[in-house]
Structure 1
Amino acid sequence: MQITSVGHAGFHIRTTAGTILCDPWVNPAYFASWVPFPDNTGLDWDAIGDVDFLYVSHLHRDHFDAKNLLEHVNKNATVLLPDYPVPDLRRELEKLGFEKFFETEDSVKHTVTGPGGELEIMIIALRAPADGPIGDSGIVVSDGETTCFNMNDARPVDMELLDQAFGHIDIHLLQYSGAIWYPMVYDIPSRTKANFARQKRQRGMDRARSYIEQVGATWVVPSAGPPVFLDDELRYLNDTEDRFSPENSNIFPDQETFLEQMRINGNSGGILMIPGSVAEVHGKELELTHPVDPATIYGDKAAYIEEMATRLAPVIAAQKATWAYGDGPLLEPLRAKFEPIMAQSDLICDGIGYAVGLVMGDETVVLDFPKRVVRAPVEGEGKYRYGFRIAPELVRTVLRDDEPDWVNTIFLSTRFQTWRIGGYNEFLYTFFKCLTDERIAYADGWFSEAHDDSASVELEGWEIQRRCPHLKADLSRFGVIDGSTLTCNLHGWQWDLESGRCKTSKGHELRSKKLETH
């Protein structure tokens, strides 16, 4: 098996049976905020796109690059389709001209036939509303000699099924770096923000190492991040100083930083791949070649980014020119967009439980979730418990484009500011991901469905329910107890074990009790 990095979470997998292209991203994403790092614009994308199979893990724009898929990927390729609850991914690929789909069943091994023979594949599809834009996934590919698990930025909860279906994994490709805006856009004191960011940086790498230990692959490739931020106003997000320091509070550690974390913790199987790097993998044997010396990128990372910023400035400017600049109040367009969704989502609106402010330049609009209305502010209303400051042109753009997902556009861009009083509200961000009838119906049903939490596990002197109340991770694997606080390292959520109260978000109580000592 020959695995070529094409940047970020993108890989080209060549086998004797056929070729698979995974998540090919090259064009700036999220309002021109994110750019692949290291630079992959010099690759031969027509050759890369001439494949037998295409796998797009989910609809996040750093995985689903519509322009690249349209212009460079063979439309005769068979799409290996994850088993998602809503068909949005298939619909978007059909719009681009793809017609052949192999519909997989979640976590079931399938045999697909390429021009040179058969491959075994399995796609692990995550279906919770919090997983990507209604779905995230990872793929396992085996050619009979080598087995590759491309987990990209999915967070599966049951790793035992890999061993059951495929046995030993030879090479594991996974995300290790932050990919979300918290806490950088929050209106909190700088010292507090730095402390939260430092915790997030380490927690993300710890979570990745936990997955690596569970999978037990011979080789590990840190991938799916981080992006590089080339716009002047976002350049501070790049991790260029004191990259290996434990005091670093940048939430986007790079590949070299994570490989050092692996070495410190006794794992020497990590390998660095840059766009164009080729790994020839034969079972447990691997030979790696690079297109250039990685030291030309990481030796002076700041200079490399500065050169990229200068060269790609026209591309960034061209994308920004497409934004919807204009005048006129936004209250009525937002009312037309949000109120029909509110009317269909009782559980989510009740879960949010309060009014949320949208500050867009000189205009403030209130999303009054308890009353299911979008309205102007009321005199004396005070500061909203959750609020967002967003440039009007960004809001006009997502309204113009009828975007079903503000998380996958505005929020991932980091081109906004927010504040909150109290904990993170998962219901709120789920609402912003589900701005279609189909999505909101699924999400509201997900939260209303009763989940079995009868199984228990003993951990550090406590008996707790085995499955995390958030997204059902196995707490015997992902749970970490410090005093009377439980942290689920899958997403970093925390509970007070004395009371069972979730310290991260509203609701999501945990069943727990202290075991008696004799």
Structure 2
Amino acid sequence: MRITFLGHAGFAVETAGALVVMDPWLSPQGAFDSAWMQLPRNHHLAPRVRELLETPGKERFLYVSHEHKDHFDPEFLATIARRDFTVLVPRFRRPELQELFAKYGCKRVIACEDSREIPIKGGYIKLFVSEQGTNRDSSVMVRGDGQCFLNLNDCKMHDRLARVIAEEGPIDVFSAQFSGAIWHPTCYEYPRELYAEVSRKKRDSKFEAVARALESVQPRAYIAAAGPAAFLDPSLYPLNFEDVNIFPRAPDLFSFLEKRLPSAPTRYLEPMPGDVLDVGTLEFVSQSPERVTPGNFKAYVEAYAKDMAHLFQERHRDPPPEEVEAILARLREELQRKLDLLDLHGRVGMPLYVELAEAPMRLLRVDFTARRVDEVPEQRDTFRYAMKVRARDIARVLERKLNWEDFLLSFRLRLSRTPDVYEPVLHGFLGVEVEDLREFCEGIRATEARTERTVVEAGGRRFSIQRFCPHQGADLSEGWVEEGRYVVCPRHRWRFDLHQAGECKTNNATLCAEPLADLPEHGKPARGGDKAPADRASVDKAPVEPPRA
């Protein structure tokens, strides 16, 4: 088996009997309205990937993990002339990817349900599908030539990894996201010190997730992929050079892992786009001459930004007043349409203010309780959520050139909230498409309806807790305990305080934790009886126990 790194989360995996191209993101326009650009740049690989997919011989597959445009690149895919290959996509409840590829003109489209196995010569491809409400993602495994590659990309299936490995056997090469990909705290109006503190906690939490995944998978090699993008829009450019944010680079991760897992046999690899890895030897048989290092990173990004400056020349011109007026009216209509379909509106106890930068005295106030959108001259609520955008940026959403989530991921907005607490319904209202809002609400209700409980030991005490995380339903029996009192969700690393009835300060969710009398030892032994490394001495690695019969 050979693995060619295509940049970001993209790979081309070749076995004796098959080729699998995964998430090729190669367009020179980047993603999310050019807010994200590939880092390192990989546009030069487009002809090579086209040739791989167009060349007869081996059975050929194109795998697209989910709809985010740094994984699903329709502009590049449109340039492929010969399409006699098979497309693999996850079978989500919303069939957008299936419908798009049904029109693409390829050999066939296979929409895979969770754990679907597609046989290839000498092995198989298997997809793992994760869907909670409107949060859709998947990961892929390729087994062939007696070797195995598991690519999680962005898929948060950490609560399943132990079971997957038990069923599938040894993994040679593993890859999983290690960098942030969200607008919090990136777009929030925090004081500089608080921004750094929140960013550091999120970064370390992501690193810890990778470390725990490596403990479960125990691969021979880990490839650092799905890392940070380059932000070349002048309004976003400083993100590249912040001392602390949620976009660390691979050397930062490797330093963490070397301390966190000092005796791990896994090799840590940071390939450049175009590098080819022999899975048998774990040696690169071909490497790109262009290497990005900590020493040349700043100069590399500066040169990259100059080359791509033409993409942003028209972005920052102010629109005329009549255009701002029309955009404001359309935005108000769009927000009202969303509000009309938000069945859980009564749960949001604060208004949302939406401000166009060009009309600072004409704010839109979304009143969730009254279910109406009004125009007001100023913010008048002590407790509120606020969003400020430029008219032409939000117009891209109203014109359906971007969806709402893509717009949020463009980072071309400023947000604030008082109190500083995550509100899932309001968050969904902003990020979910109009047609998905009812499904979003149904997903929250479905998660809340799961009442199964489990038992966790922490700090020498036992507690009964809800088994499934109230955020997006992750299985907390695959979580862990920190500082002798906090249950940590394995999917998003939310922390629930067992000493406070299992409350989570992130959004006041709760596991309804109840202390239990001392119980006799039974059930499976704790995996984490070993001591944590010295620099993580506060972490109790005992897992949450599975439910008792």
Same fold (TM over 0.5): yes
Correspondence 1:30 to 2:29: no
Preserved contact between residue 142 and residue 149 of structure 2 (Cα < 8 Å): yes
Question: Given the superposition, is the C-alpha separation of residues 259 and 289 from structure 1 closer, same or farther in structure 2, using an over 3 Å criterion?
Answer: farther
Deviation at 1:21, TM superposition (A): 0.9
Greater Cα offset, 337-346 or 389-398: 337-346
Using the alignment, how far apart are the partners of 1:353 and 1:505 within structure 2?
Answer: 13
Question: Given the superposition, is the C-alpha separation of residues 75 and 380 from structure 1 closer, same or farther in structure 2, using an over 3 Å criterion?
Answer: closer
Using the alignment, how far apart are the partners of 1:476 and 1:47 within structure 2?
Answer: 46
Correspondence 1:111 to 2:140: no
Question: Given the superposition, is the C-alpha separation of residues 417 and 149 from structure 1 closer, same or farther in structure 2, using an over 3 Å criterion?
Answer: same
Structure 1 letter corresponding to 2:253: F
Using the alignment, how far apart are the partners of 1:388 and 1:71 within structure 2?
Answer: 37
> Which residue is equivalent to 2:10?
10
Of the candidates 125, 131, 135, which is equivalent to residue 129 of structure 2? 125
Using the alignment, how far apart are the partners of 1:230 and 1:24 within structure 2?
Answer: 20
SS at the partner of 2:187?
Answer: coil
Deviation at 1:476, TM superposition (A): 4.2
**Size of the alignment, in residue pairs?**
496
Task: Flag structure 2 segments of 5+ consecutive residues without an equivalent.
Answer: 520-549
Listed one character per residue, the Cα deviations across residues 491-514 of structure 1 (whole Å, up to 9, x for unaligned) are 1323232233231115x3212134
SS at the partner of 2:438?
Answer: helix
Using the alignment, how far apart are the partners of 1:4 and 1:380 within structure 2?
Answer: 52
Listed one character per residue, the Cα deviations across residues 75-101 of structure 1 (whole Å, up to 9, x for unaligned) are 332111202111112223345444621
Q: TM-score, normalised by structure 2?
A: 0.83
> Which residue is equivalent to 2:193?
191
Using the alignment, how far apart are the partners of 2:333 and 2:379 within structure 1?
Answer: 26
> Which residue is equivalent to 2:389?
390
SS at the partner of 1:468?
Answer: coil
Question: Given the superposition, is the C-alpha separation of residues 146 and 391 from structure 1 closer, same or farther in structure 2, using an over 3 Å criterion?
Answer: same
Deviation at 1:316, TM superposition (A): 4.3
Using the alignment, how far apart are the partners of 1:29 and 1:322 within structure 2?
Answer: 21
Deviation at 1:402, TM superposition (A): 6.3
Using the alignment, how far apart are the partners of 2:90 and 2:110 within structure 1?
Answer: 9
SS at the partner of 1:308?
Answer: helix
Correspondence 1:399 to 2:427: no
Q: TM-score, normalised by structure 1?
A: 0.88
Question: Given the superposition, is the C-alpha separation of residues 457 and 465 from structure 1 closer, same or farther in structure 2, using an over 3 Å criterion?
Answer: farther
SS at the partner of 1:232?
Answer: coil
Deviation at 1:420, TM superposition (A): 0.5
Deviation at 1:111, TM superposition (A): 2.7
Task: Flag structure 1 segments of 5+ consecutive residues without an equivalent.
Answer: 241-247
Deviation at 1:7, TM superposition (A): 0.4
> Which residue is equivalent to 2:160?
158
Deviation at 1:386, TM superposition (A): 0.7
Preserved contact between residue 355 and residue 366 of structure 1 (Cα < 8 Å): yes
> Which residue is equivalent to 1:436?
434
> Which residue is equivalent to 1:243?
none
> Which residue is equivalent to 2:206?
204
> Which residue is equivalent to 1:269?
267
> Which residue is equivalent to 1:345?
342
Listed one character per residue, the Cα deviations across residues 281-321 of structure 1 (whole Å, up to 9, x for unaligned) are 13xx4221453356554431101111111122224447x49
Preserved contact between residue 24 and residue 73 of structure 2 (Cα < 8 Å): yes
Of the candidates 77, 83, 96, which is equivalent to residue 69 of structure 1? 77
Preserved contact between residue 66 and residue 96 of structure 1 (Cα < 8 Å): no
Using the alignment, how far apart are the partners of 1:137 and 1:74 within structure 2?
Answer: 26
Structure 2 letter corresponding to 1:451: R
Preserved contact between residue 357 and residue 384 of structure 1 (Cα < 8 Å): no
The structure whose Rg is larger is 2
SS at the partner of 1:270?
Answer: strand
> Which residue is equivalent to 2:541?
none
Using the alignment, how far apart are the partners of 1:276 and 1:352 within structure 2?
Answer: 48
Q: Percent identity?
A: 28
Deviation at 1:60, TM superposition (A): 0.8
Question: Given the superposition, is the C-alpha separation of residues 80 and 141 from structure 1 closer, same or farther in structure 2, using an over 3 Å criterion?
Answer: same
Preserved contact between residue 366 and residue 374 of structure 1 (Cα < 8 Å): yes
> Which residue is equivalent to 2:457?
458
> Which residue is equivalent to 1:417?
414
Question: Given the superposition, is the C-alpha separation of residues 294 and 377 from structure 1 closer, same or farther in structure 2, using an over 3 Å criterion?
Answer: same
**Within 5 A, what are the aligned runs for 1:7-406?**
7-27=7-27, 28-43=30-45, 44=47, 45-50=49-54, 52-72=60-80, 74-98=82-106, 100-108=108-116, 110-113=117-120, 117=121, 119-129=123-133, 131=135, 135-156=136-157, 157-239=159-241, 249-264=244-259, 265-266=261-262, 267=264, 268-282=266-280, 285-292=281-288, 295=291, 297-317=293-313, 320=315, 326-347=323-344, 349-361=345-357, 362=359, 363-377=362-376, 381-382=380-381, 385-401=384-400, 403=402, 405-406=403-404
SS at the partner of 1:198?
Answer: helix
What root-mean-square deviation, in Å, do the aligned CA atoms of Structure 1 and Structure 2 show? 2.6
Using the alignment, how far apart are the partners of 1:112 and 1:335 within structure 2?
Answer: 51
Deviation at 1:384, TM superposition (A): 5.5
SS at the partner of 1:161?
Answer: helix
Preserved contact between residue 454 and residue 477 of structure 2 (Cα < 8 Å): no
Question: Given the superposition, is the C-alpha separation of residues 210 and 176 from structure 1 closer, same or farther in structure 2, using an over 3 Å criterion?
Answer: same
